[in-house]
């Protein structure tokens, strides 16, 4: 696993960010993107603007600006108007994330599910209600599509079946790679080619732009549950879609109409989280790779899933009782979510993917003995000692059958 992925790249590639150096290391971008104007203002830390409304003495001018936004969804220039239309602190986070993902724009929302909902609503508004999707996805994403809660119709396919599933009313192809929770990986370039003119949305929550930039592989939309690695400390909720400006304009209009805005404090924390994103992801990934190796050698573990791209997520199936393993941890926290500085473990079939039909869940590789581990920044020996004790607690009914390879 090469943890130096994307250390250097063209900061202007696809971003339209004129005036920035032709090449800057990814770590430098993570620290400085969205903050370049601060020194000229006599500031060091980004300001937090909590205003919900702003003074406006030119009502004719405001009417013209609002008419323009209603027509094309372009970002408002000049002074802000109302927090549902945009916020300066949130805009800094959006600018930074777009630069890290290599897209023209990014639009932030109150959660990852709010972000996905906005994409579906934007496509539905054009009469493009059909979605082609590949399992597994995050359980709530799966449920949103399957239940048709926003009027969408979904066709589930293997990656090789994307092209054949497209219809005249297909508005989106949706994949997650590495996937939640099995960490299955998809050839994004091949899927993007199969999509033709239909936009490909890649959920990049697990990989982050540190390990993978889907826009460079043909995706038009890149989704993040910003609650996870982008925030990184388990104390902020948000979602964001990085995309081209044409799609971003539609998403801003949906956000304004539905009110799924990101709170400014969340925008501030997410911008701060980006500055340490490369350090956190690389450190946690190194620990995860070592834990995956040890789990693969443990006779109490039936199978380990760890992606070729690397990362800080591990999924593993046990011979014994997975619920006893959950109950047996002491240092590791048994909890949903992921991407925090502390290590979390959960049983997807009981929690994150419980909402998915049991047969669909198992067909997607989410077995009842699968556990998902989000590795944090603790010392690897302390984490392994905790896992060993928990695996011992779950050993009842287990065996010593040979396991499959650790990498998929």
Active site residue 138: yes
Active site residue 228: yes
The per-residue b/e assignment along 306-332, b for 16 or more CB within 10 angstroms, e otherwise, is bbebbbbbbbbbbbbbbbbbbebbebb
Active site residue 84: yes
Q: Which of 123, 135, 142, 203 is catalytic?
A: 203
Cα angle for residues 390, 396, 400 (degrees, 5° grid): 90
pLDDT at position 387, please? 98
Which residues, other chains included, contact 41 with Cβ-Cβ below 8 Å and sequence gap of 6+? none
Q: Which of 7, 13, 84, 342 is catalytic?
A: 84
Distance of CA 228 to the CA centre of its chain: 7
Q: Where are the alpha helices (DSSP H) in 307-356?
A: 322-328
pLDDT at position 397, please? 43
Q: Which of 221, 219, 229 is nearest to 187 (CA)?
A: 219
Active site residue 354: no
Q: Rounded distance, CA 74 to CA 249, Å? A: 5
Q: Rounded distance, CA 42 to CA 61, Å? A: 30
**Could you list the pLDDT tens digit for every one of the 408 residues in the chain?**
444 344 545 443 434 443 445 579 999 999 999 999 999 999 999 999 999 999 999 999 999 999 899 999 999 888 899 999 999 999 999 999 999 999 999 999 999 999 999 999 999 999 999 999 999 999 999 999 999 999 999 999 999 999 999 999 999 999 999 999 999 999 999 999 999 999 999 999 999 999 999 999 999 999 999 999 999 999 999 999 999 999 999 999 999 999 999 999 999 999 999 999 999 999 999 999 999 999 999 999 999 999 999 999 999 999 999 999 999 999 999 999 999 999 999 999 987 788 888 887 888 788 899 999 999 999 999 999 999 999 998 675 444 444 544 444
For residue 371 the two structure tokens come to: 């556990």
Q: Which of 228, 280, 303, 369 is catalytic?
A: 228
Q: Rounded distance, CA 213 to CA 218, Å? A: 10
pLDDT at position 22, please? 54
Residues 377, 341 contacting (CB under 8 angstroms): yes
Q: Rounded distance, CA 43 to CA 33, Å? A: 15
Which residues, other chains included, contact 42 with Cβ-Cβ below 8 Å and sequence gap of 6+? none
Residue 294: count other Cβ atoms within 10 Å of its Cβ.
16
Q: Which of 138, 229, 268, 306 is catalytic?
A: 138
Q: Rounded distance, CA 95 to CA 107, Å? A: 9
pLDDT at position 275, please? 98
pLDDT at position 54, please? 95
């Amino acid at each position: 696993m090469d943890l130096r992925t994307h250390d250097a790249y063209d900061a202007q590639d696809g971003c339209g960010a004129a005036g920035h150096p032709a090449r800057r290391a990814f770590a430098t971008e993570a620290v400085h993107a969205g903050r370049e104007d601060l020194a000229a203002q006599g500031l060091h830390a980004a300001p937090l603007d909590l205003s919900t409304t702003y003074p406006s003495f030119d009502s004719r001018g405001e009417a013209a600006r609002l008419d323009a936004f209603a027509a094309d969804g372009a970002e408002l220039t000049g002074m802000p108007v109302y927090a549902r239309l945009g916020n300066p602190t949130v805009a800094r986070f959006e600018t930074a994330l777009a630069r890290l993902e290599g897209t023209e724009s990014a639009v932030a929302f109150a959660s990852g599910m709010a972000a996905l909902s906005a994409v579906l609503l934007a496509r539905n508004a054009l009469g493009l209600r059909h979605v082609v999707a590949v399992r597994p996805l995050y359980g709530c994403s799966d449920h949103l599509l399957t239940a048709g809660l926003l009027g969408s119709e979904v066709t589930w396919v293997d990656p090789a079946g994307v092209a054949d599933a497209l219809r005249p009313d297909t508005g989106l192809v949706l994949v997650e790679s590495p996937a939640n929770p099995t960490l299955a990986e998809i050839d994004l370039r091949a899927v993007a080619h199969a999509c033709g003119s239909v936009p490909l949305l890649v959920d990049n929550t697990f990989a982050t732009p540190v390990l993978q930039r889907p826009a460079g592989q043909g995706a038009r939309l890149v989704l993040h549950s910003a609650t996870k690695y982008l925030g990184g400390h388990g104390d902020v909720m948000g979602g964001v879609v990085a995309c081209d400006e044409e799609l971003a304009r539609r998403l801003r209009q949906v956000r304004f109409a539905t009110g799924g805005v990101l709170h400014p404090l969340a925008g501030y924390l997410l911008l701060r989280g980006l500055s340490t994103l490369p350090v956190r992801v690389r450190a946690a990934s190194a620990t995860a790779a070592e834990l995956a190796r040890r789990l693969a050698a443990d006779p109490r573990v039936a199978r380990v899933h760890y992606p070729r791209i690397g990362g800080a997520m591990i999924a593993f199936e046990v011979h014994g009782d997975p619920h006893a393993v959950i109950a047996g941890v002491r240092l590791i926290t048994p909890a949903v979510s992921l991407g925090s500085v502390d290590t979390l473990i959960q049983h997807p079939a009981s929690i994150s993917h419980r909402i998915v039909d049991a047969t669909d869940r198992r067909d997607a590789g989410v077995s009842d003995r699968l556990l998902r581990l989000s590795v944090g920044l603790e010392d690897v020996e302390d984490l392994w000692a905790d896992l060993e004790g928990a695996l011992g607690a779950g050993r009842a009914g287990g065996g010593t059958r040979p396991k499959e390879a650790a990498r998929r």
